[in-house]
Structure 1
Amino acid sequence: MSAEAQQGLTPTGTIASAVDRRRVVFATVVGTTVEWYDFFIYASAAGLVFGELFFKPAGAGVATILSFLTVGISFLFRPLGAFLAGHFGDRIGRRRVLVLTLILMGAATALIGLLPTYSAIGIGAPLILILLRVLQGISAGGEWGGAVLMAVEHAPRTKRGLFGASPQIGVPIGLLLASGVMALMALIARGDAFLAWGWRVPFLLSIVLIFIGYWVRRRVEESPVFVEIAERKEQTRMPIVQLFRRHALLVIIAALVFAGNNAVGYMTTGGYIQNYATDPKGPIALDREPVLWAVAGSAVTWLIATWVAGWLSDRIGRRTTYIIGWVAQLVGVFTLFPLVNSGSVGALFLGLAILTIGLGFTYGPQAALYSELFPASIRFSGVSISYALGAILGGAFAPTIATALVQATGSTLSVTVYLAGMTVIGLIATLLLRDRSGIPLGPEHEAEQAKSPIYGAARG
């Protein structure tokens, strides 16, 4: 067999065509972009308008905290989405689950765009808002694992990091679109018009994106790993039970790896910086539109860093790439608020851009890293649940914690210490794991995959 053919081998030993691989990459990028656009539109609106529209009777400061709490509440339901998607993804296939999560996320997002405010229907408004956010959380909990496995399990062995970066860049692209559309609406619907109807347009746009994402994902072939598992009739009966019986500690360590990235990332994706920089009673009080454009610009640097990190991890290993990323992220954490607090939009963008380099390097290799940690038969459950738990420990309440810290101390230094601590936790968790770059992913290598990648743990 030629060297080129060897590079095109899927985890099951078949040769994937270039067209098939490009289609998988395109589908995972488009699908995750649509999902995370929906998710980030909510976070952006929570930082900009939801406190005023849905929680105003609680008072200005409390309304902001309650608004950010609704962002975090969805994370509590990510494990439910991960459990459901992991179970059915390991039982009936990756592709079907991906289509269902896309539809659920889009429907919830569009309904938020139609939701009456507190002034119209009273307490029912925030309650329905929370319910729809919960549905978004369930969808997000199931989405990531399926997209990751579709990308990585279709990839040649030597390009898993690069292929795995494709669903990862859907996150910064989703942030770019969400911030860009919000900024455009802030330009079109100025002042009270934005509060009245401008914020709704980005949510309603999700209806169009659902159809695009659905069409793209339906055209992608099922993961070759799952196809072989199904042909062998080796689907695990209760994959979640098997996961926690044999790999509970691994799930926790993998979750802490993501938590270190997610807590820092949710300073922008969770809407905190947008709220902090535009608060008319805050220390900066910048206009809404330029802040949103600065966040959109930082999404571009995040995208580039994520893609480069995925590519680099195929050359120097996932673990080494992560370590570089944690150091870069720590630098970004300590430079963020000094630049933001300068009161300049340009400095705010620079602070976010520096931060996103580290974020990209601690996110780009994650798809390949997670996929190589778990055995084929329980892989969907393993990556999904680790990701969901990491999101709870990391980003779920990061904006709420940051808001409470500033209100309690009167300084953003406390937020910097909090984010630095989360970064160090992510670094320590990474150091506990062996690098398994290139390990065979097919079901015929289940015994090798089942050996613990944790340093100091029994490997047999």
Structure 2
Amino acid sequence: MATNISSVDDPTPQQMRTVIISSTIGTAIEWYDFFLYGTMATLVFPKLFFPTSDHTVGTLLSLLTFLVGFLARPFGGAIFGHMGDKIGRKSTLVATLMLMGISTFIIGILPGYATLGITAAILVTIMRLCQGLGVGGEWGGSVLLAMEYGHKSNRGFWASWPQLGAPLGLALSTIAVDIVQASMSADSFLSWGWRIPFFVSALLIIIGLYIRLRIMETPLFAKVKEQNREASSPLLHAFRHSTPEILLSAGSRFVEQAPFYLFATFVVTYGVDKLLLSKTMILNSIVAAAILEMCTIPVFGALSDRVGRRLWYLIGCGLMIAFAFPYYLLMNSGSPVLFALAVILSLAIFHSWVYGPQAAMIAERFSTRSRYSGASLGYQLAAPLAGGLAPIIALLLLNGKTTLSALGRSDVVVNIGAGSWQAVSIYVIVLSSISFVSVLGLKEMTHADISGTEEDKVSPVLILAGED
């Protein structure tokens, strides 16, 4: 039986819990699928789909297929943002979950290069494209589901809960891979065992669909539907009235997007290939960091409601800049303890500092009529530049010189000079600086009233404490 709270403007704590569980679990499943591919892109896919290349090149080519998912995310944000602003948040979220689940399951049954040749790499890239479309539409809906129910107060806290889906999905996917790896030989894992975590996704999708189908439409969008005020073209509406907010929101994500994939994905390649550390130790460190981040994200989201999201985020940009060099110094120490500390600090403190309040900071500056489209674009436009490219750029900066051979034929040499971890740290500093400047251009909207349906933009009117 559905939990009918679509007409409730002041949901009870029990009703808010239902909404939060729905948005968080659904997002976690989507990110489980997305991160599972990222982990396999470093551990398995170089050998499975690109076996004719040397190890470094195979990893690079595998990460290029990882990039495809990021290139698709803005398109997913546009497509599903349009649907979310036209037909509703709930129906759109069901569609994104099914797209992600089916794509992930198909990856799990795909034959490798030995069976299909280059066709195998093409097919896995297409499925990665579908994953990107799904997760591109997922974020906006999940955040709005939470924020548009709890819009009157503590938006940073409520909207931070769907953000838990990222570390939760990361932890679940890493645990699944770790368990499967530990239960069989390396040859068995490479041959067939790697497919098991992808099959687990099918069960998770069923659970997610059951939960999401029990939630009704958000109060704010229900009001738009009742007044027949849906935007005829939400995407154009968002660009017409909020182009600066979309672009600055995208820029604000550089500090979080790229470092996250360095902290959660590239760290596996760096730890195994450069530091010769245990793969199991690295994966366990990532799991511990992800679990701790699930605690710090809502805390930092709540603190942004008190301090102000703009100021809190600017401080976070500064902290990320300060951490860029110590992060690699800790890992390069050779101590597994210090390596684990670096991983934990990177995710549970420096990443979550900006990731917690980020959802509300982006979503609250768009009107209800085009909020799904505007917030999704503001969030997803940063994905190709700062997300998918991050591990690839880091690999090139680390190695300095990489030879790309197309199936053993003529070589193409990419030479960027002497590679070093210091270059990767400078890369993080540059991206964080871009976000700092972008956030300076955004207005403070922490206490703005976002419930109106008449205005093309959110009214920066303060909410009185007594209205909570």
> What TM-score range do you get, normalising by the shorter chain?
over 0.9
Question: How do residues 3-402 of structure 1 correspond to structure 2 at under 5 angstroms?
Answer: 14-269=9-264, 271-279=265-273, 283-356=274-347, 357-402=349-394
- Gap regions ≥5 residues in structure 1: 1-9, 453-460
CA distance in 1: counterparts of 2:230 and 2:420, whole angstroms: 53
The code of the aligned residue for 2:427 comes to Y
1:2-43: CA deviation from partner (whole Å, max 9, x where unpaired): xxxxxxxx9998221222111001111101110001100000
**Aligned residues of 2:6 and 2:216 also touching (Cα < 8 A):** no
**Matched residues in 2 for 1:56 and 1:276: separation?**
20
Partner amino acid for 1:275? T
Offset of residue 447 of structure 1: 5.0
Aligned-pair CA distance for 1:241? 1.1
2:451 to 427, 437, 442: 442
Is 2:435 the partner of 1:426? yes
Partner Cα separation in structure 1 for residue 131 and residue 172 of structure 2:
18
For structure 2, the 5+ residue unaligned runs are 401-417, 462-468
Would you say the 8 A contact 1:11–1:440 is kept in 2?
A: no
- Deviation string 1:300-331 (CA, Å, 9 cap, x unpaired) is 23222212111101111111221222222223
Aligned CA distance change for structure 1 residues 318 and 12 (closer, same or farther; 3 Å): farther
Q: Which amino acid aligns with 2:356?
A: G
Contact 2:368–2:451 (8 Å) recurs in 1: yes
* Partner Cα separation in structure 2 for residue 324 and residue 249 of structure 1: 22
Q: Following the alignment from structure 1 to structure 2, what is the Cα–Cα distance between the partners of residues 40 and 396?
A: 12
Segments of 4+ moved more than 4 angstroms = 10-13
Deviation at 1:451, TM superposition (A): 7.5
CA distance in 2, matches of 1:11, 1:367: 22
Give the structure-2-normalised TM-score: 0.90
Name the aligned partner's letter for residue 53 of structure 1: L
Instruction: Quote the offset at 1:342 in angstroms.
Output: 2.3
- Structural RMSD (CA): 1.8
In structure 1, how many angstroms separate the alpha carbons of the residues matched to 2:387 and 2:443? 25
Whether the aligned pair in 2 keeps the contact of 1:332 and 1:354 (CA below 8 Å) is no
- For residues 80 and 247 of structure 2, the distance between their equivalents in structure 1, rounded to whole angstroms, comes to 19
Distance 1:240-1:143 versus aligned 2 partners, 3 A rule: same
- Kept in 2: contact 1:332–1:351 (CA 8 A): no
**How many residues are matched?**
439
TM-score (norm 1): 0.92
In 1, the alpha carbon distance for the partners of 2:211 and 2:267 equals 33
Mapped contact 1:168–1:363 kept (Cα < 8 A):
yes
Match of 1:157, SS state, is coil
CA distance in 1, matches of 2:250, 2:7: 27
How far, CA to CA, are the matches of 1:360 and 1:197 in structure 2?
Answer: 35
Question: Quick one: which amino acid aligns to residue 16 of structure 2?
Answer: R
In structure 1, how many angstroms separate the alpha carbons of the residues matched to 2:350 and 2:299? Answer: 11
Counterpart for residue 425 of structure 2: 416
